[in-house]
Structure 1
Amino acid sequence: MKLIRTEDAVGHVLCHDITQIIKGVTKDAVFRKGHIVTEEDIPVLLSVGKENLYVWEKEVGMLHENEAAEILREISQGEHMHPSEVKEGKIELIADCDGVLKINGEKLRAVNALGEMMIASRHGNFPVKKGDKIAGTRVIPLVIEEEKMNRAKEVAGKEPIFQILPYEHKKVGIVTTGSEVYHGRIQDTFTPVIVDKVTEYGAEIEGHEICDDNPEMIEDAIHDLLRRGCNMILCTGGMSVDPDDRTPLAIKNVTGNVVSYGAPVLPGAMFLLAYYGGDLPVMGLPGCVMYAKRTVFDLVLPRIMAGEILTKENLDLLGEGGLCLNCPTCTFPNCGFGKCGSR
């Protein structure tokens, strides 16, 4: 850094905060370290007694924090988000739509491991709403080696660290199973819960069938809903290991492609995920979805609604963080449930 006359400082970058003290009114930085001095700033600087300033002296191979922050933004920002203005080497990313936040955790860790720069975010694989802050990036020192920022670009590669997957419009078919419901012995209290959850993500209910525990009847109901244009099928009931619970068999017979029957999540261990034709989700929902505040369905549904094709590995990874603590006051998603990292 170098010391220059304040009148000659236009276009230069301050190397320290400039504090303004007005008795009984304020004592705060009127200009922050890293501020680029403008013509309009000169009278203010002189009024606080700064006739000389320490400014950053441009060196070959060094970048100002704001220049470097733009590089962090470039490697971080994916589709459906926009950046805040750069300030003191910091840029934030804001969601432009509702959807699911996807994070390349390996790249995120690699960039943070370089030192003198950081990227912090909310958890991946969880819903975000338009206007939500999803990540913040910052360069730590006032100046940083250009070579170091080039390394950040190398480890990040061509694909951005963050993406938002917008929700797709889904036409949902619901198959309610159980002879007790089919014969009217009890009221169907499961379907209203499902309707509330899927419509929260913009889905529409295209059809609803009620079946007894006959697997052929359940198969026929699923096929009928598929013919009516449903592109997501939810089967409720009959998902335990009791001999007369035949819903998993029916789903398997229709799809021939069961990703997993069982998930390492409580509540929700008896969850079943399958795909018809390779990309149309058919799910078997255990009874806990009807009465528990949050279950495996709440972890999987947003990702399905965003068009993700989930694998068994995706479900296996839910084990870390997959235990709901049934808190007296539910704060989901602002809690540890489902927070297994961006993998």
Structure 2
Amino acid sequence: MQEVRTKDAVGHVLCHDITQIVRGGVKDAVFRKGHVVREEDIPVLLSIGKEHLYVWEQVEGMLHENEAAEILREIAQGSHMRATLPKEGKIELIAEIPGLLKIDKERLHQLNALGELMIATIPSGMVVKEGDKLCGTRVIPLVIEEEKMLAAKALMGDKPLLELLPLKKVKYGVITTGSEVFKGRIKDTFTPVLVDKMAAFGCELKSHRILDDNHEEITSTIQEMLAEGVELVLCTGGMSVDPDDKTPLAIKNTGAEIVSYGAPVLPGAMFMLAYTKEQTPILGLPGCVMYAKKTIFDLVLPLLLAGIPVTKEWLASLGDGGLCQNCEVCHFPNCTFWKGV
């Protein structure tokens, strides 16, 4: 940092904010730290009493905060993201498409532990819209050793810290089970809920069947839907442990690999997930999905659409925070019930 006369400061980079106070309570920076002084700035600076300025002195081996921020941006930025222009050592990454954000949390922690630089993100696993902010990068000092930034880049390797995974708009099938619905005693109110939830992600209902509590018919119908090319099968009803609840047995008899029958989540404990050999998911959805605001289905669905395998280990991890508070005003996913990846 060096002191120069304001009249001689053109082309130099400010080391601090220049604040202007206006009568009536307005106090703000007229020029920000990192601003490159222009000829037209000189009268403004003189008018607020700045005869001398502290500017950045170019030193070999040192990077200005904005140059260093570009290195952080390169470390963080994956596909389907755009970067803002550097400002005061900060660059933000913005989603260019709707998708699910996946962050390498271990490497992110390693980077932030280095000191003097940081990347702050929204939570990994968050579903975002086009234009949503994903992260901000910042270099703490005005200047930082180039060697430190290059070491950070080498430590992080070539794979970006952030991935924005597109959400596939799948064609899905729904199998509604239960003699009470099959025989017309009650109306099917489950399928409309699923259609609404799936439509929010742009997914299309390809096939819907209402069946009696016959596990052989349920199994064969699942197989028929798979043969028709559905990319996700949702089975509703018959998911409890009552003797006449046949859906878990029907899913098992398709030959699909069972990931889990049951999950440490309320609402949603009686959830079932299986994958076919072709990795098509088959879900057994408990009745709570029909009436509760948010359930296990809302936690799992974005991962399935993003192509992230849902594992038994991940499902087991949901117990910590897996109790929905059933708030009068639902703030999901900005709540303790939401789970990332």
TM range (shorter): over 0.9
Tell me which amino acid in the other structure corresponds to 2:216: E
**Shift of residue 2 of structure 1?**
1.0
Is the counterpart of residue 317 in structure 1 residue 330 in structure 2?
no
Distance 1:271 1:25 in 2: 59
Check conservation: 1:255, 1:274, Cα contact below 8 A. Answer: no
Partner of 1:139: 139
Instruction: State the Cα RMSD in Å.
Output: 1.5
Can you list the C-alpha shifts for 1:28-83, whole angstroms capped at 9, x where unaligned?
22112222212332222222222221111111221111111111111111111111
Check conservation: 1:320, 1:338, Cα contact below 8 A. Answer: no
The number of equivalent residue pairs is 341
Find the residue that maps to 1:299 and give its secondary structure: helix
Partner of 1:307: 307
- Range with greater deviation from structure 2 (54-63 or 16-25): 16-25
Partner of 2:28: 28
Is the counterpart of residue 154 in structure 1 residue 154 in structure 2?
yes
Tell me which amino acid in the other structure corresponds to 1:13: V
Check conservation: 2:17, 2:29, Cα contact below 8 A. Answer: yes
Q: 1:199-218 alignment to 2 at 5 Å? A: 199-218=199-218
Is the counterpart of residue 335 in structure 1 residue 335 in structure 2?
yes
Tell me which amino acid in the other structure corresponds to 1:226: L
Find the residue that maps to 1:319 and give its secondary structure: coil
- Range with greater deviation from structure 2 (292-301 or 45-54): 45-54
Distance change in 2, residues 1:25/1:328 (3 Å): closer
Can you list the C-alpha shifts for 1:294-323, whole angstroms capped at 9, x where unaligned?
001001111111222222122222222222
Check conservation: 2:332, 2:338, Cα contact below 8 A. Answer: no
- Range with greater deviation from structure 2 (38-47 or 174-183): 38-47
Q: 1:114-263 alignment to 2 at 5 Å? A: 114-263=114-263
**Shift of residue 88 of structure 1?**
0.6
Q: Unpaired runs of 5+ in structure 1?
A: none
Moved over 6 A (4+): none
Distance 1:154 1:85 in 2: 23
Is the counterpart of residue 86 in structure 1 residue 82 in structure 2?
no
Find the residue that maps to 2:136 and give its secondary structure: strand
Distance 1:255 1:61 in 2: 62
**Shift of residue 136 of structure 1?**
1.2
Tell me which amino acid in the other structure corresponds to 2:177: T
Identity %: 64
Distance 1:32 1:14 in 2: 7
- Range with greater deviation from structure 2 (293-302 or 321-330): 321-330
Partner of 1:95: 95
Find the residue that maps to 2:94 and give its secondary structure: strand
Check conservation: 1:255, 1:275, Cα contact below 8 A. Answer: no
User: TM-score under structure 1 normalisation?
Assistant: 0.95
Find the residue that maps to 1:173 and give its secondary structure: strand
Distance change in 2, residues 1:15/1:318 (3 Å): same
Check conservation: 1:318, 1:338, Cα contact below 8 A. Answer: no
Q: Unpaired runs of 5+ in structure 2?
A: none
Tell me which amino acid in the other structure corresponds to 1:195: V
Distance 2:32 2:178 in 1: 67
Can you list the C-alpha shifts for 1:234-279, whole angstroms capped at 9, x where unaligned?
0001111111111111111114311111112111111111111241
Tell me which amino acid in the other structure corresponds to 1:243: P
Tell me which amino acid in the other structure corresponds to 1:178: G
Tell me which amino acid in the other structure corresponds to 1:9: A
Distance 1:320 1:81 in 2: 31
Can you list the C-alpha shifts for 1:161-193, whole angstroms capped at 9, x where unaligned?
111111112111000111111111221111111
**Shift of residue 219 of structure 1?**
0.9
Q: 1:7-86 alignment to 2 at 5 Å? A: 7-24=7-24, 26-86=26-86
Distance 2:253 2:327 in 1: 39
Distance 1:255 1:134 in 2: 40
Find the residue that maps to 1:254 and give its secondary structure: coil
Check conservation: 2:172, 2:207, Cα contact below 8 A. Answer: yes
Distance 2:35 2:161 in 1: 28
Find the residue that maps to 1:260 and give its secondary structure: strand
**Shift of residue 25 of structure 1?**
7.3
